């Protein structure tokens, strides 16, 4: 995707919250931790409501006066297979108007020489990993004016240098791929990332998810109790 030049906001503290995926308990934990921080912007980096508690997660995020939102692939609900039971579940809880609001969020946001996108500067869908070949990463960053890109989509915290640029993955609040359970997010101070993890009662959250009525509730609950690790992701997806 080619972006038009824009005036960039400077010198802000940004809490980058990506891939909440309807895990409202994880989001509550992060917001409790944010209450002890000075944060100018809470940037929701896409895939906010696609999960077991769409309505509760959506309303909590929208209640924040300093929140900004960009669009993720799971927010583009009109493009998702209509036979996917998860789509009906999310739409049934959000309603058409709020689902449209999510889908109409901008592709990106920029501050402090940092470009925030969901998956990459190209699209909201293609996964890129810290171990992807350097030439693949460099091609994805082609024509990006900013020195740093922050993304999510792959649900793990990483930071790699690609030529003269840095590519930071902020992690996943709701369903991380990390070595231990928790809610993972990133604080950026003047464009420099600080990886964070918020604790919450994962067992209680998993028990609630199993009762949520979501068509993949048990799978989602298992995912937060025992996250897939980065090593397991790499073994599954290889050098994508």
**Res 29: pLDDT:** 98
Q: C-alpha angle with apex 57: 48 to 230, nearest 5 degrees?
A: 50
What domains are defined for the chain?
A: 13-237 (3.60.21.10)
**Residue 240: pLDDT band by 50, 70, 90 thresholds?**
low
65 or 6, greater pLDDT = 65
**Residue 114: pLDDT band by 50, 70, 90 thresholds?**
very high
128-158 pLDDT, tens per residue? Answer: 999 999 999 999 999 999 999 999 999 999 9
Does position 4 have pLDDT exceeding 50, yes or no? no
Residues 84-93: contacts with CB within 8 Å, 24+ apart? 85/215, 86/50, 86/214, 86/215, 86/216, 89/54, 89/213, 89/214, 89/215, 90/22, 90/49, 90/50, 90/51, 90/54, 93/54, 93/55
Does position 57 have pLDDT exceeding 50, yes or no? yes
Does position 127 have pLDDT exceeding 90, yes or no? yes
3-state secondary structure 13-33: EEEEECCCCCCHHHHHHHHHH
Does position 5 have pLDDT exceeding 50, yes or no? no
Q: What's the whole-number mean pLDDT along residues 19-35?
A: 98
Neighbours of 210 (CB within 10 A): 16
Both tokens of residue 128? Answer: 């890129």
Per DSSP, the three-state class of 56 is helix
Q: How far apart are CA 18 and CA 117, in angstroms?
A: 10
Q: What's the whole-number mean pLDDT along residues 187-196?
A: 95
């Amino acid at each position: 995707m080619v972006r038009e030049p824009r005036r960039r906001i400077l010198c802000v503290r940004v809490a980058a919250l990506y891939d909440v995926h309807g895990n409202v308990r994880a989001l509550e934990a992060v917001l409790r931790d944010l209450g002890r921080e000075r944060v100018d912007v809470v940037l929701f980096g896409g895939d906010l409501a696609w999960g077991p508690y769409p309505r509760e997660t959506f309303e909590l995020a929208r209640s924040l006066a300093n929140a900004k939102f960009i669009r993720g692939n799971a927010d583009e609900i009109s493009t998702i297979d209509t036979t996917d039971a998860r789509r009906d579940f999310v739409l049934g809880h959000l309603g058409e108007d709020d689902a449209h609001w999510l889908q109409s969020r901008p592709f990106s946001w920029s501050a402090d020489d940092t470009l925030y996108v969901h998956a990459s500067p190209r699209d909201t869908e293609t996964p890129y990993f810290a171990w992807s070949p350097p030439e693949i990463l460099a091609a994805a960053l082609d024509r990006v004016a900013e020195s740093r890109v922050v993304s999510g989509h792959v649900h793990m915290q990483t930071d790699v240098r690609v030529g003269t640029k840095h590519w930071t993955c902020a992690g996943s609040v709701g369903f991380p791929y990390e070595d231990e359970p928790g809610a993972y997010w990133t604080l950026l101070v003047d464009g420099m990332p600080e990886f964070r993890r918020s604790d919450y009662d994962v067992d209680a959250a998993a028990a609630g998810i199993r009762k949520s009525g979501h068509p993949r509730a048990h799978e989602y609950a298992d995912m937060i109790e025992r996250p897939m690790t980065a090593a397991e992701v790499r073994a599954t997806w290889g050098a994508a």
